[in-house]
Structure 1
Amino acid sequence: MVDGAWWPYSRDAAAELPHLIAAIDQRLGRTVLRIGVYRDAWQRIARRIPARGRQVRVGWFRHSDPRVITLVFATGEPIALLLIPPDTAAGTAEAALKLTAQDTTGLATDDILILASLPPDPPIHAISRAGTTDSPACWENEGGSVIAHDATGTGDRTPAPA
């Protein structure tokens, strides 16, 4: 289950995550401390992303849903965002953004993707790397990254409110 959605411009986590963090900080009034992403779905994943007066740690994992990114806040309660692939057609992406802005209680990620006509399995663009531990306990030592898109056509690709 997800709390919202994010439609990034690219799969370059180092370029996309700062915008996501700033939008979440501003729109939700919450301080993002960590982000968890599926490792092989991103390019250029940084261990830390500079944000307003802090460094946000990014963890990358291989045993998580590649279609979801997780944000952890100072309050400790995480939220999960559906990752809409950057190359998704505007109409389809907008449908997914609208669906996740509604009450999605009981809907699995696959259900949302089917309702919005998104492909159930995102293309993996990065090469897998073996020999890493993929658990939140390794966030202190691991790095990672994330992305955002514009459903309004204004160039403001920020996450749908959770």
Structure 2
Amino acid sequence: MVDGAWWPCSRNAAAELPPLIAAVDQRLGRTILRIGVYRDAWQHIPRRIPARGRQVRVGWFRHSDPRVITLVFATGEPIALLLIPPDTAAGTAEAALKLTAQDTTGLATDDILILASLPPDPAIHATSRAGTTDSPARWENEGGSVIAQKASTSDTPASAPA
């Protein structure tokens, strides 16, 4: 589930994340401390971004939803934003933005994309791993574990994807 949506102009994280941080700081009055992104969805990912008297840490994952970025604040719950691909047609992107501004309680990311008629992003979809998750507490670039634990083949039966 997501709390909102974001439609960046490019996949350059160094160029796109600073304006997002400034907008969230101003509109929500909350201080972002960390941002989590799907590594293969972005180019030029900095480790830190200067923002109003602080450095915002940027973590990247390979085991998370490639269509979501996470904003972690000094206080309160993190916010998950649906990432609308930069090359999305204006009408489709606006539909997704409007939809996420409404009550999306109970809607998964896929449901929002389908309702907004937003096609899967081939640049992200080709490298994503279905069914994997990661926590903002486990940042790959800060020494967190990036290797999924292997299930013992003798103890765990193989399961088909849902």
Whether these two folds match at TM > 0.5 is yes
Ranges of 4+ aligned residues in structure 1 off by more than 6 Å: none
Stretches of structure 2 lacking an aligned partner (at least 5 in a row)? 129-133, 144-162
Q: State the distance in 2 between where 1:12 and 1:34 align.
A: 17
TM-score by structure 2 length? 0.78
Q: How has the CA–CA distance of structure 1 residues 83 and 57 changed in structure 2, closer, same or farther, with 3 Å as cutoff?
A: same
Query: For residue 147 of structure 2, what is the aligned residue in structure 1?
Result: none
Q: How has the CA–CA distance of structure 1 residues 135 and 4 changed in structure 2, closer, same or farther, with 3 Å as cutoff?
A: closer
Deviation, structure 1 residue 142? 3.6
Q: How has the CA–CA distance of structure 1 residues 6 and 99 changed in structure 2, closer, same or farther, with 3 Å as cutoff?
A: same
Greater radius of gyration (CA): 2
Q: Percent identity?
A: 93
The count of corresponding residues between Structure 1 and Structure 2 is 138
Kindly report which structure 2 residues correspond to 1:17-28, keeping only aligned pairs within 5 A, or say none: 17-28=17-28
Greater RCO structure (CA 8 Å; 6+ sep): 1
Query: For residue 104 of structure 1, what is the aligned residue in structure 2?
Result: 104
Q: State the distance in 2 between where 1:23 and 1:42 align.
A: 20
TM-score by structure 1 length? 0.78
Stretches of structure 1 lacking an aligned partner (at least 5 in a row)? 129-133, 144-162
Q: How has the CA–CA distance of structure 1 residues 122 and 27 changed in structure 2, closer, same or farther, with 3 Å as cutoff?
A: farther
Deviation, structure 1 residue 140? 8.6
Kindly report which structure 2 residues correspond to 1:10-159, keeping only aligned pairs within 5 A, or say none: 10-124=10-124, 136-139=136-139, 141-142=141-142
Deviation, structure 1 residue 77? 1.1
Alignment RMSD: 2.3
